[in-house]
Structures are given as C-alpha cells and as structure tokens.
Homo-oligomer: A and B are copies of this chain.
Amino acid sequence: MDLLLERFKDGAIDKDVVVQYLQELSYEDLGFAKIDHHRTARKGFPEVIYCAGKTEEQVVEIFRRLAERADRVLATRANPTMGRGVQKQVHGAEYHSVGQLITLGWKQTAQGIVGDVAVISAGTSDLPVAEEAAITAEVMGSTVTRVYDVGVAGLHRLLGELHRFQDAKAIIVVAGMEGALASVVGGLLDKPIIAVPTSVGYGAAFGGLAALLGMLNSCASGVSVVNIDNGFGAGFTAHLIARQAQG
C-alpha cells in the first residue's frame, strides 16, 4: 500500500488506478458473492466458507477460487454432497463427516503430543461441535489434543485426563445441558478457556440457551464464550491465542 502511494506520487500510476486497485483487486465478484482475497493479509487466513444457505454449486465455485490463491481452505457446515462436489474439483480436498467440514491443506495432529490447543467435550452428543473446533484449529496450523466424554457427572474421568492437556496454550470446552464443565475446568487451570455451549439437551435447555447463560456466568475466571454450536469460532480463536505464544 505504501508502495502504491509512492508510485502514485511519482506519477507512475494514475489516481483512478489506485481507486480501482483498492476496489477490485481486494475482492473478486462472482455475482452471487464477493470473495475477499485480501483477508489472508488482514486476518492470517483466507475467507472461510459458511455453507449453510448456499447451493452446492456456489460452495464448489467459491472453494475452487480460494484454492487457486491459497494453500489452505476451510468450509464449514457442509453436507456430504458439497464435500463430494468439492473433492471432484479441488485436488487434495478432504471431507470430515462428523464435523461437517471440507478442508484443503489440513494436517492431522500426531498421536501422543500435547497440542497447542485442547478440545474437551462433555458428552458423545457434543462430538460434531468438538470436531468442528478441532479441525478448524488444525487447518489453521495448530496442533490439537482431543479429550472427549468427560462431563461433570463423572468428575474422575476429567481428572484422569488432566495431565494430557494442562500445558496447552488455549483450551476449548464443549458442553450442552447446563455447561458446568467450563466452570470446573476453569477452576482447575490458569489457561484461557473458550467455552462452546451446544444445543444438546431438551426442555428448558432451550436449544443451548441454558448452557450459554451458564458459561457466561461462570464463577471461574478466564472463561470467554462463543455462539451456541460455534465450534468453528472457538477453533479459530484458540488458534489465534496459541499463535501469540509462537511469536
């Protein structure tokens, strides 16, 4: 940008060119979408495709365009058909059926290492959200330790796994119902905790509202919260935190 202004001053380029550059180069207009290619520079990762409410054709096209300019691409809330569609068009793309994600450039965390990010879930029904978080963090470049089904009703399961994740840089806690797991983990560790309420539960769970309110009111400090079922947001934030630690 500085260069551009310098060259504009030198007369090497025209004012209209500057304006056009600012307007057109930074995003690509597909008609139904304006792809934000500038986002990698600004946010450290290309625009992420939120597939809900898009057609298969739109998803495939946007994924393909992003893959032309970036070596890592992520699409969330993708159904299997979208996954197959992208895999046909983009070499190396993978579909993750539990977390409903399509990735390019994803690298699985090696067994047994302590990840930069830990993803802890309360029950088996929380798995899709937990996997959305874990794979998001991995495709962005973090390593992830998964600790699943360690809810508060059987506290010893959590304590038995504590050694596996207490040295992570950021900890994601995924829980539905009353979401008490976030408070318990937050009371035990001095790490930033990103709590993800899930819509698991019934009746007065009100689609995740009980867990959301519970986590926002956690009596433990160091807990912040993302939207209900928003595994992607938690994984993205955890990666940003872990990256601070890497300079």
Q: Does A110 contact B (CB under 8 A)?
A: no
A226 / chain B contacts, CB cutoff of 8 Å: 216, 223-225
Q: Which of B44, B151, B156, B224 contacts A22 (CB 8 A)?
A: B156
Q: Is there contact, CB below 8 Å, between A223 and B233?
A: yes
Contacting pair A180 B43 (CB below 8 A): no
If A124-B58, A180-B183 touch, does A217 touch B192 (CB 8 Å cutoff)? no
Residues of A with Cβ closer than 8 Å to B?
5, 8-9, 11, 15, 22-24, 26-27, 32-34, 36, 38-39, 42-45, 47-48, 50, 52-54, 58, 122-125, 127, 148-157, 159-161, 169-170, 177-180, 183-184, 186-192, 194, 197, 199-230, 232-234, 236-237, 240-242, 244-245, 247
Given A125-B52, A125-B54, A169-B244, check contact A203 B180 (CB 8 Å).
Answer: no
3 tightest Cβ-Cβ pairs between the two chains A and B = A203-B228, A53-B125, A180-B180
- Given A154-B27, A233-B221, answer yes or no on A240-B54 (Cβ-Cβ < 8 Å): no
Contact across chains for A214 and B178 when beta carbons are under 8 A apart: yes
Task: Name which residue of chain B comes closest to A27, CB basis.
Answer: B157
Partner of A153, one of B52, B125, B154, B183: B183
Given the interface contacts A152-B184, A225-B225, A227-B203, does A124 sit within 8 Å of B214 by beta carbon?
Answer: no
Distance to closest chain B CB from A17 (angstroms):
13
Q: Are B177 and A219 in contact (CB under 8 A)?
A: yes
Q: Among B54, B125, B240, point to the contact of A222 (Cβ < 8 A).
A: B240
Provide the residues of chain B in CB contact with A47, threshold 8 Å: 154
Q: Is the CB of A219 within 8 A of B38?
A: no
Tell me the bound Cα distance from A238 to B138 in angstroms: 23
Q: Is the CB of A237 within 8 A of B222?
A: yes
Cβ-neighbour of A228 out of B153, B177, B186, B204 (below 8 A): B204
The answer to whether A152 and B125 touch across the interface, beta carbons within 8 angstroms, is no
In the bound complex, CA of A192 to CA of B237 (Å): 6
Shortest C-beta distance, A146 to chain B (Å), equals 11
A72 CB to nearest B CB, Å: 14
- Cβ distance A52 to chain B, nearest Cβ, rounded Å: 7
Partner of A236, one of B155, B202, B206, B221: B221
For A58, A160, A213, A223, which residue has the most chain B Cβ atoms within 10 angstroms?
A213
Q: How far is the CA of A48 from the CA of B199 in the complex (A)?
A: 20
